[in-house]
Amino acid sequence: MAVHQFQAEVNQLLQLIIHSLYSHREIFLRELVSNASDAIDKLKYLTLSDDAYKAIAFEPAISISFDAAAGTLSIADNGVGMDEADLVENLGTIARSGTRRFIEAMEADKRKDSNLIGRFGVGFYASYMVADEVTVTTRKAGQDTAWVWKSDGKGSYDIEPGARESHGTTVVLKANDDGREFLSRWRLEELVKKYSNHVAFPIRLAYDEDEYDEKGKKKGSKIHKDEQINSAQALWRRPKAELKDEDYVEFFKNISDSDEAPLFWTHTKAEGTIEYTTLFYIPSKAPFDLYHADYKPGVKLYVRRVFITDDDKELLPVYLRFIRGVIDSEDLPLNVSRELLQQNRVMNSIRTASVKKVLSELKDLSTADKDKYASFIAEFNRPLKEGLYGDFANREALLELVRFKSSSVDGWTSFADYKSRMKDDQKAIWYLTGDAEERLRKSPLLEMYRKQGVEVLICPDEIDELVMPMVGRFGDIELKAINRAGAEKELEGKPDEKKAKDLAPAIERIKKALGDEVKDVRLSSRLTDSPSCIVVDGDDPSLQLQQFMKSMGRADGIEVKPILEVNGDHPLFARLSASDDETLAADVSRVLLDQALLVEGAPIKDPADFVTRMNRLIG
């Protein structure tokens, strides 16, 4: 017998599961049945595509049995099975780096009614919510040796040779006090129908039932029964007219490891030159790994009902990575590889049509159910904006789908909504980018636009800095950022040349005091209340874009000095203009710059110096 230690993160995850009181213990059965189904899927694929496995008889089945007296529950399959190395890799290690973030999320949520496990799924390890000990007996297809894996979940596990008549895996749970409720025919049948009814292979439940005579009197003997308790049909292959909403919801929960109903779904059967079926879901909540580089794709690929992969990020574009569902093709070869998938003509056609279908359904949803669409936008607006940046072919459709906050109306608004509210003489769609909605709403840059009743789109997502300038136009209307030097000239009217001439000496003193910390100092026509603001010149990157690029380690060579605009009517500027004191001029100049930077959410050079200068001015 070989004793192994769990990988540190597995051990931590197990302790969290075992010692926490979660309300979703029942999902352990969904996870184990799902694992069994995956193992059968893999064997089915091998028997059709690999000569080494074609001689193996494929008679798929998942069996569940229990012994209430002994306190055990068994889930068995005749799938591909595992060898010793597979056991170590699959049951002793979690390879995905997202596990660390998942564990942190679990630790952060201490509520008894937490649904983290239900939302994310924890696969095989969910067994330890209901079991004191788990034993796995498995034999890999094409091999003669079986292996037994056993652990109480307390830091280590044992592996030793065992015996099994044929390929496949049997998981035996020794129920703890919380797990005894599942040693019941009625409870098990209820859970299989709830979570796994549409698993595409038969799930059979074996149990002993009391025998009764003709008069209904219980005999002392028992009758052994073995019944199929799921529909065992690929739901996506069934006609839509046969399916109810609850069928779709149940299937979504099964394939997405979620306890929440989806927000929306679309079921399509395409016939013609290329035949395929798709069933796509939009979750009601964003997947926890949506913004992780190692996110897990949510779409499974089948070829003529044979499972091919659920780990290919090319099935849909990256910006639609939140979608869950199934693609089932009639025309792809069974032995298609992941490398070939990316260049396969049939797959490319399916992918292109699927994206257009999803975007079309979202457009319909945006008009048919505005509240539901607002819920979608609250979760997935940013990925759609990524599509604007990367999917040129569908940019026009995406321009109609993305939403923004506004300086003039509550809630979400679209480009089309903005356009419908534009003033007759307005020539541009104005927008302001930054790092937080509340900060942007208080920006001095908005003062002139509010005064003149001109709407500005509020854009607080990091990606807005990249997307908005690149998009450039909505139809025939140009998109313009209000934090660009000169943007205000379209609204300011005729400049006051006398005022500019009178204040020019004070502007020069500020330039001299700040030196090369700024690109320029200018008298502002956009400020009404605030003393100063920061803008950038022409095509220079904004301060937020510079910070964004720095956070990605790509800031070399892009740092640009800002332009400081000052309000000639503000008392602080007037104080500088009326005094010859150079110390005062230096203090006012520095405070004007630092205040403007702080309002923009940018770091200031020396906070202590800022406080000292402010105190001197107040004194």
Q: Per-10-residue mean pLDDT for the chain, 619 residues long?
A: 81 69 73 90 90 91 95 97 92 59 58 41 79 96 95 90 96 95 94 84 89 70 87 88 92 83 95 94 93 89 82 91 94 73 87 97 96 96 94 96 96 96 92 91 92 94 90 93 81 73 91 92 90 84 68 62 91 87 90 91 87 86
- The answer to pTM > 0.85 is no
- Parts of the chain belonging to CATH 1.20.120.790: 496-618
Q: Which amino acid is at 164?
A: R
pLDDT at 98: 45
Q: What residue has token string 């230096």?
A: 586
558, 515 contact by CB (below 8 A):
no
255 burial (CB, 10 Å; 0-12 / 13-18 / 19+) is buried
Residue 1 has a pLDDT of 79
State the Cα–Cα distance between residues 495 and 497, nearest whole angstrom: 6
Nearest to 188 by CA among 64, 68, 23: 64
> For residue 419, which of 478, 366, 332, 369 has the smallest C-alpha distance?
478
Question: How distant, in Å, are the alpha carbons of 21, 131, 209, 281 from that of 178?
Answer: 10, 8, 24, 33
Tell me how many degrees the CA angle 209-214-216 measures, rounded to the nearest 5. Answer: 60
In this structure, whether the domain defined by 496-618 belongs to CATH 1.10.1740.10 is answered with no
Q: Name every residue whose Cβ is closer than 8 Å to that of residue 440 and which is 6 or more positions away in sequence.
A: 432, 433, 434, 446, 458, 459, 460
Determine the Cα–Cα distance for residues 36 and 601; give it in Å rounded to an integer.
52
| CA distance to 194, 197, 204, 300, 305, per residue, from 231 (Å) | 11, 6, 11, 20, 15
Q: Which CATH architecture has domain 235-368?
A: 2-Layer Sandwich (3.30)
Rounded Cα–Cα distance for residues 19 and 17 (Å): 6
CA distance 155 to 151: 8
User: Of 510, 536, 513, 512, which is closest to residue 523 (Cα–Cα)?
Assistant: 510
Pairing mode, strands 324-329 and 299-303: parallel
Q: What is the pLDDT of residue 43?
A: 94
Give the residue among 24, 41, 251 at the shortest CA–CA distance from 121. Answer: 24
What is the rounded distance in angstroms from the CA atom of residue 63 to the CA atom of residue 46? 22
Q: Three-class SS of residue 257?
A: coil
Strand bridging mode 168-175 / 131-139: antiparallel
Encoded amino acid at 513, one letter: A
What is the H or E stretch that residue 608 is in?
helix 607-618
End-to-end CA distance of the chain: 80
Contact (Cβ atoms closer than 8 angstroms) between residue 308 and residue 284: no
Q: Collapse the DSSP code of 585 into the 3-class scheme (helix H, G, I; strand E, B; otherwise coil) and give the result.
A: helix
Give Rg (Cα) of the chain.
32
- Which tokens is 235 given? 């739901």
Ramachandran area for residue 610 (φ above 0: left; ψ -120 to 50: alpha; else beta): alpha
User: What is the DSSP secondary-structure string of 86-151?
Assistant: HHHHHHS----THHHHHHHHHHH---TT--HHHHH--GGGGGGGTEEEEEEEEE-TT-S-EEEEEE
pLDDT for 115 equals 43
Residue 294 three-state SS:
coil
Pick from 433, 481, 489: nearest CA to 601: 433
Q: By C-alpha distance, which of 195, 146, 192, 182 is closest to 166? A: 146
Helices 27-49 & 245-256 angle (0-180, nearest 10) = 80
Q: What is the pLDDT of residue 118?
A: 39
How far is the C-alpha of 422 from the C-alpha of 429, rounded, in Å?
Answer: 8
C-alpha–C-alpha distance, residues 104 and 337, integer Å:
35
> CA 491, CA 566: separation in Å to the nearest integer?
18
Every domain of the chain with CATH number 3.30.230.80 lies at 235-368
Residue 346 near residue 331, CB atoms below 8 Å: yes
Nearest to 312 by CA among 327, 300, 294, 303: 300
Tell which CATH architecture fits domain 2-228: 2-Layer Sandwich (3.30)
pLDDT number for residue 113 = 37
- pLDDT for res 459: 94
Portions of the chain given CATH number 3.30.565.10: 2-228
| Cα 558 from Cα 339, distance rounded (Å) | 37
Task: Give residue 97's pLDDT.
Answer: 41
